[in-house]
C-alpha cells in the first residue's frame, strides 16, 4: 500500500456496509441469559462449592505439617476453583446488565453472585489466619508441592497479608460491619452523585441533565459552554459538599482506625501492596514527572494560542484542538487495528482476528445499553468479552484497540492457574495503552491533514497532562488529607483548601490563579471508592510503564513480540519491579526509566508546537 493509499484509507469518510457483527456472543457462555437453565445451574453449583469450602475449612487440620499438607492442598485447589467461578459469574451478569440496563433478571443474578462472594470471603479469612500461623519451613515446603508451585507467589502474598492483620475473628467482624458502615458511605455518595442534576440551557431550550451528561460539555469547542458547565458543576456540588465531606471523613476515619489496629504505619502501605510495588518506585516516578512540567508548559502555551485564551483553566483541559472528518465503519476499524498490531506481533494479529470472528465484542449503538467501555474475562472458557458503543470516530477505533489490549493480556495468561492470572491495577493498563500507542502512531504516519495531526497530537499531550498533573493532584490530596484526618475531621472548606494546594503543587503555574477546581475532592468519585484506597498513582504508573515498554519495542522491533507476551504472562506472579527487571532490564526504583518514559510520552510535543505556529 502506498502512502497516498494509506492516507486515503485512514481519511475515508464514507462508511462501508458492515459485515463484522456489531453484537457479541454471550450464548456460547451461558445459553438463555440470566434466566436460562445453564446460568441458574451454574449459580447453584457455585453456592454448593462455597458451602463445601466452609465445611472443609471447619474440618481442616489447624496445623500445617507433612500429615495435613495434602488436605490443605485440596482446600486451596477448591477455593481457587471457586474464585474463578465467581469471576465467571460476575462477568456474565455484568455483561448482561451492560447490554440491557433494564434486564431485571441479570440484576438479581448479579446481586446473588455478590452475596456468594461475601460468603466465600468469610471462609478465606479463616484459612488465611491458618496460613499465618504455619511455620515458615512447613509453609515453604507446602507451596513447593507440584500442584501449588504455579501459584506460590499469590499464596505467599496472601500469607504475608494475613500475618499483618488482626485476629480472624476481628477481621471477620470488621468485614461484616463494613457492609453497613464503611461501604455504605461509598454507596451513599454514588447514589447522591447519580441523582444530582442541573438545569441546562442551550439553543433557547432548557432541560434537566445529569452530571454525566454535563461532563460531555467539557469537550465542547466553545469556551463559554465549558465555563458554563464548570459553573453548573460547582453549583451542583456546592449543594452537597457537606454530605460529601461527611462521607469522605468517615471513610478515611474507618481506614485510619483499621490501619492503627493492624499496626500499619502509613495509609499508602495497603495500596502499595495491592499494586505489588514499593514506595521507592512511586517516588522515582513522580520525580521524573516533576521534571517535565516546563516542557508541558510549551504544549499549553501552544494550545492557549490555538484556543485564543490567555490563562489555562481546569475546564480547558479537554478542549478540542484540530479536527478530523475521517470516519470508520466497524469493518474498517477492525482492519486498521488488526493491521497495525499485527505489524508488531503476528500472535496479536491472530488473537484480534479470533476475537472478531468469535464475536467477543459488543459495539452496537442502541437504546437500553449502559455507557462506557470495558473488557472482562471468563476464566472457565479462557475467553474475554469487550463492551463499547461504536460511533465511527477515531476515538472509537482507539477504544477498540485499547480493550483488545486488555483481552490479549488475559489471553496470554489463560493457561495459568487462576490465582496466577490476577495482576494488579498498575500493570493492568500495560497492554491496553501499548495498543493505543501503536494505533495513534500509525494514524499520525498515515495522516497528511494539518488539523487531523493537531487533533491526534493534542490527544497524546492531553493524556500526558492528565497523568502527570491531574492524577498527581489526586495523589497529593490523598496524602495530605489522610495526614490531616488523623488529627480530626475536616470541613468542606478545609478540604477545598487542601485540594487547591494540591493542584498548585501538581500543576505549578500551568493553571491560571483563577482556574483551579476547589470542589474536585467532592466531584471525583475515585476518592470515595472503598475497595481501592489511593485510586490514583497506579494510573500514572500504568501509562508510563506502557510507554516505556513501547519504547523498548520500537528499539527491538518485532523481535520483542515474544518477550512482550512473556512479560504480560508474568504480571500475575511477580512484583512490578521484578517484571521490569526480568523483561526490560530496568530498575523501577531509579529515576532513569521513568525519565525515559516521560520523554517518550511527550514525543510529538515539538511537532504540535510547530503546527500551532500556523
The mean pLDDT of 513-541, rounded to a whole number, is 95
**Mean pLDDT score of the chain:** 93
Query: Does pLDDT of 468 surpass 90?
Result: yes
Please give the share of the chain, as a percent, with pLDDT higher than 70. 97
Amino acid 44: pLDDT = 97
Amino acid 369: pLDDT = 83
Classify domain 33-164 at the CATH class level.
mainly alpha
Amino acid 398: pLDDT = 94
Amino acid 5: pLDDT = 45
Amino acid 1: pLDDT = 42
The mean pLDDT of 154-164, rounded to a whole number, is 96
Amino acid 101: pLDDT = 84
Query: Does pLDDT of 7 surpass 70?
Result: no
pLDDT tens digits, residue range 95-119? 999 999 889 999 999 999 988 998 8
Nearest to 532 by CA among 370, 375, 459, 424: 424
Nearest to 129 by CA among 57, 53, 48: 57
pLDDT band at 2 (very low <50, low <70, confident <90, very high): very low
Angle subtended by helix axes 104-133 and 152-163, to nearest 10: 70
The mean pLDDT of 381-388, rounded to a whole number, is 96
Contact yes or no for 402/438 (Cβ under 8 A): no
Nearest to 395 by CA among 341, 448, 439: 439
Quote the CATH superfamily of domain 207-323+463-614. Answer: Oligoendopeptidase f, C-terminal domain (1.10.1370.20)
Identify the bridge partners of residue 207 per DSSP, sorted by sequence position: 200
The mean pLDDT of 22-27, rounded to a whole number, is 96
Per this entry, what is the length of the chain?
614
Amino acid 12: pLDDT = 45
Amino acid 507: pLDDT = 97
- Stronger pLDDT, 5 or 110, i.e. the higher one: 110
pLDDT band at 377 (very low <50, low <70, confident <90, very high): very high
Amino acid 368: pLDDT = 84
pLDDT band at 10 (very low <50, low <70, confident <90, very high): very low
Please give the share of the chain, as a percent, with pLDDT higher than 90. 84
Nearest to 454 by CA among 596, 576, 612, 347: 612
Amino acid 334: pLDDT = 97
Amino acid 4: pLDDT = 44
DSSP-derived secondary structure for 116-180: HHHHHHHHHHHHHHHHHHS-HHHHHHHTTSTTTGGGHHHHHHHHHHHHTS--HHHHHHHHHHHHH
pTM for this predicted structure: 0.91
Q: What are the structural domain ranges in the chain?
A: 33-164, 207-323+463-614, 330-446
**Lowest mean pLDDT: which of 390-394, 507-511, 540-544?**
390-394
Amino acid 325: pLDDT = 73
The number of angstroms, rounded, from the C-alpha of 440 to the middle of its chain's C-alpha atoms is 20
Amino acid 326: pLDDT = 77
pLDDT band at 6 (very low <50, low <70, confident <90, very high): very low
Contact yes or no for 586/580 (Cβ under 8 A): yes
pLDDT band at 203 (very low <50, low <70, confident <90, very high): confident
The DSSP bridge pattern shows strands 383-387 and 361-362 to be parallel
Amino acid 285: pLDDT = 98
The mean pLDDT of 508-526, rounded to a whole number, is 95
pLDDT tens digits, residue range 34-72? 999 999 999 999 999 999 999 999 999 999 999 999 999
Contact yes or no for 581/587 (Cβ under 8 A): yes
Amino acid 57: pLDDT = 95
Please tell me whether residue 109 adopts helix, strand or coil conformation.
helix
Identify the bridge partners of residue 201 per DSSP, sorted by sequence position: 206
Instruction: Indicate if 207-323+463-614 has the same CATH topology as 33-164.
Output: no
Amino acid at each position: 500500500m502506498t502512502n497516498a493509499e494509506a492516507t486515503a484509507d485512514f481519511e475515508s469518510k464514507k462508511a462501508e456496509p458492515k459485515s463484522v457483527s456489531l453484537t457479541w456472543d454471550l450464548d456460547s457462555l451461558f445459553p438463555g441469559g440470566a434466566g436460562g437453565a445453564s446460568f441458574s445451574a451454574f449459580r447453584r453449583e457455585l453456592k454448593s462449592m462455597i458451602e463445601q469450602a466452609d465445611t472443609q475449612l471447619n474440618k481442616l487440620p489447624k496445623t500445617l505439617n507433612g500429615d495435613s499438607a495434602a488436605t490443605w492442598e485440596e482446600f486451596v485447589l477448591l477455593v481457587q476453583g471457586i474464585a474463578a467461578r465467581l469471576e465467571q459469574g460476575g462477568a456474565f451478569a455484568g455483561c448482561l446488565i451492560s447490554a440491557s440496563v433494564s434486564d431485571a433478571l441479570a440484576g438479581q443474578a448479579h446481586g446473588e453472585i455478590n452475596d456468594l462472594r461475601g460468603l466465600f470471603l468469610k471462609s478465606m479469612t479463616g484459612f488465611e489466619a491458618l496460613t499465618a500461623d504455619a511455620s515458615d519451613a512447613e509453609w515453604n515446603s507446602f507451596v513447593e508441592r507440584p500442584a501449588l508451585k504455579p501459584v506460590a507467589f499469590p499464596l505467599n502474598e496472601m500469607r504475608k497479608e494475613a500475618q499483618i492483620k488482626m485476629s480472624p475473628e476481628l477481621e471477620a467482624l470488621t468485614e461484616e460491619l463494613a457492609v453497613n458502615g464503611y461501604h455504605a458511605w461509598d454507596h451513599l455518595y454514588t447514589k447522591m452523585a447519580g441523582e444530582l442534576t442541573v438545569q441546562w440551557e442551550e439553543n433557547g431550550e432548557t432541560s434537566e441533565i445529569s452530571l454525566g451528561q454535563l461532563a460531555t460539555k467539557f469537550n465542547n469547542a466553545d469556551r463559554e459552554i465549558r465555563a458554563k458547565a464548570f459553573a453548573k458543576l460547582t453549583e451542583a456540588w456546592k449543594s452537597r459538599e457537606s454530605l460529601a465531606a461527611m462521607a469522605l471523613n468517615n471513610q478515611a476515619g474507618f481506614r485510619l482506625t483499621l490501619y492503627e489496629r493492624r499496626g500499619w504505619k502509613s495509609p499508602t502501605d495497603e495500596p502499595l501492596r495491592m499494586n505489588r510495588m514499593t514506595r521507592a518506585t512511586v517516588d522515582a516516578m513522580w520525580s521524573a514527572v516533576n521534571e517535565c512540567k516546563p516542557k508541558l508548559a510549551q504544549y499549553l502555551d501552544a494550545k492557549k494560542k490555538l484556543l485564543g485564551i490567555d490563562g489555562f483553566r481546569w475546564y480547558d483541559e479537554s478542549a478540542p484542538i484540530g479536527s478530523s472528518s475521517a470516519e470508520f465503519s466497524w469493518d474498517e476499524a477492525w482492519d486498521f487495528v488488526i493491521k497495525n498490531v499485527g505489524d508488531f506481533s503476528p500472535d496479536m494479529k491472530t488473537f484480534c482476528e479470533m476475537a472478531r470472528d468469535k464475536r467477543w465484542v459488543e459495539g452496537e449503538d442502541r437504546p437500553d445499553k449502559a455507557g462506557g467501555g470495558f473488557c472482562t474475562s471468563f476464566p472457565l472458557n479462557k475467553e474475554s468479552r469487550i463492551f463499547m458503543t461504536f460511533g465511527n470516530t477515531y476515538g472509537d477505533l482507539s477504544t477498540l484497540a485499547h480493550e483488545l489490549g486488555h483481552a490479549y493480556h488475559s489471553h496470554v495468561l489463560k493457561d495459568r492457574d487462576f490465582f496466577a492470572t490476577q495482576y494488579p491495577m498498575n500493570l493492568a493498563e500495560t497492554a491496553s495503552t501499548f495498543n493505543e500507542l501503536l494505533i495513534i502512531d500509525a494514524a499520525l504516519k498515515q495522516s497528511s491533514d494539518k488539523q487531523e495531526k493537531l487533533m491526534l497530537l493534542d490527544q497524546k499531550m492531553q493524556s500526558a497532562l492528565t497523568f502527570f498533573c491531574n492524577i498527581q493532584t489526586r495523589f497529593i490530596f490523598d496524602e495530605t488529607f489522610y495526614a490531616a484526618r488523623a488529627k480530626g475531621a475536616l470541613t468542606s472548606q478545609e478540604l477545598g483548601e487542601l485540594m487547591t494546594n494540591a493542584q498548585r503543587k501538581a500543576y505549578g503555574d500551568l493553571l491560571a490563579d483563577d482556574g483551579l477546581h476547589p470542589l474536585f475532592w467532592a466531584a471525583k468519585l475515585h476518592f470515595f471508592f472503598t475497595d481501592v484506597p489511593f485510586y490514583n498513582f497506579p494510573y500514572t504508573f500504568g501509562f508510563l510503564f506502557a510507554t516505556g515498554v513501547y519504547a523498548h519495542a520500537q528499539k527491538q522491533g518485532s523481535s520483542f513480540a515474544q518477550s512482550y507476551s512473556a512479560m504480560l504472562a508474568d504480571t500475575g506472579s511477580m512484583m512490578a519491579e521484578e517484571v521490569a527487571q526480568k523483561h526490560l532490564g530496568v530498575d523501577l526504583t531509579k529515576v532513569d526509566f521513568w525519565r525515559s518514559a516521560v520523554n517518550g510520552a511527550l514525543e510529538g510535543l515539538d511537532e504540535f508546537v510547530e503546527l500551532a505556529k500556523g
